[in-house]
Amino acid sequence: MTDRPFLGVLLMLGFCVLAPLGDATAKLLGDDMSVGFLVFVRFAVQALLLLPLVIMAGYPMPRGSRLIRLTALRTVLHICGIGLMFSALQHLPLADAIAIAFVMPFIMLLLGRVFLDEAVGHHRLIACAVGFVGTLLVVQPNFASVGAPALLPMGVAVVFALFMLVTRQIAKEVDPIGLQALSGLMAAPLVGLALVLFPWVPILATGPVAGTDWALLAWLGTLGTLAHLLMTWSLRFAPSATLAPMQYLEIPIGTAIGYLVFRDLPNGLAALGICITIAAGLYIIVREQRLSKQPPPPAAPPAA
């Protein structure tokens, strides 16, 4: 497929708008509904939206024991990541929760070095350390006000870093729509069963849903599904090196949405930490782009 960078950038911009809107919707609903119920609806809507596409358009779903196992692991990680994020949003301002979760690129870099033996130079390691410092500056004022829940977005970052590593293992072998449809079909019954079997657990407790809330619940699932598809489609039209810096637009867009909906703004220390985190992440992206353009080292001459 021919690259169309402008279209890819527009699709990624759509993701950067829809993802924080979905988080804001979850934050609005989180006062009246359990995290487990929100996660169930999120994946149930995903399955309902994508399964007809798979059936009518013939998008293939993952097959074979290896791909099914990896898809199941990816789905469990996705459930945990979304659950942690929805839990964090019950305690933290929207912009702060998103900014803390953006420690994920640094964790992915380190996990890639440990598990995939990817080369990571000292420049990027220093940038990782700086990014962690920026994240801690965002965590500190929130930890002082709400305690341990301020660390939940760090858990989101770790889980989604593992999620992305698993996705890397299967991305070239599966269709993204089929993968997401199967993930929804796996996740919705799994979370639904937990809601039925453990209703006394606070994060799984369910109660009556007001009529107006059903529209917001459908909106939550639709936003999450569309955001993920927009990100996937954007990578079909533009290289990841072009799109990666744009993902940081989630933070200022999340800040704007947080202010408009909840009248929340990061305080001075958190704002400084957000700026440091963004700068460190962008430095890593630029560094990787430069290294990718360098010619490979010459091969060693054959032994005599």
Q: What is the pLDDT along the chain (304 residues), one digit of tens a residue?
A: 556 777 878 888 888 899 999 999 999 998 889 999 999 999 999 999 999 989 888 888 888 899 999 999 999 999 999 999 999 999 988 988 888 887 877 777 777 666 656 666 677 677 777 777 887 778 777 787 888 888 899 899 889 888 878 887 787 788 888 888 999 999 999 999 999 999 899 898 887 887 788 999 999 999 999 988 888 777 777 766 566 667 778 888 888 898 899 888 777 777 888 888 778 777 776 766 665 555 555 555 555 4
**C-alpha R_g of the chain:** 20
- d(CA 112, CA 118) in angstroms, rounded, equals 6
Nearest to 94 by CA among 43, 21, 161, 34: 21
- d(CA 132, CA 109) in angstroms, rounded, equals 12
Both tokens of residue 192?
């639904």
Cβ 261 vs Cβ 30: under 8 Å: no
CB atoms within 10 A of CB 211: 6
294 secondary structure, DSSP code: S
**282: Cβ–Cβ under 8 A, 6 or more apart, which residues?**
245, 248
**Phi/psi of residue 203, each to 5°?**
-75, -10
